[in-house]
A and B are shown apart, each in its own frame.
Chain A
């Protein structure tokens, strides 16, 4: 199964943009890139996903490198409520499994 690599932790100031990186050098052509986040004492929450093109939604943007070996989750204006663990996951079309890594713990300072 394809693996992802993320920094253990990152820190940001409130109201500033945050760029959360993810490396996935063994990604295959049919792997989707998914991002979830987990707030303290809660279940994971879907953030965004994409295949090749950059994606935007109300929560975040996903920038995917041209070779697809890395991606970046962008929170445009961090708030204290964005403090969470962010997971980058690869999912192959036709496979039914999600593998979560250890994720990046984002700390947002007021």
Chain B
């Protein structure tokens, strides 16, 4: 079947620290992979995506590389800001554009 496993939070970092949020997946076929971000009181927003193996998605300083050999799509950012505080969701989509989400990782960045 299809599923996504994320590292559990919450994660608390100081401003300018390096961020990694781990994500691994199980899927049939060749899924597309996504990271979504959810700010308080809002819906999920697409952060970045990758559609095939070895693709790197990037946006707003965040990056993630689609690793088929390790079935992973870890999210990284070199220097986090207070404004990055949010909940981050890893997701995959498969046949018929059906999406499967991880449980989310809460990030708090302190000044």
- Chain A bound to chain B: no
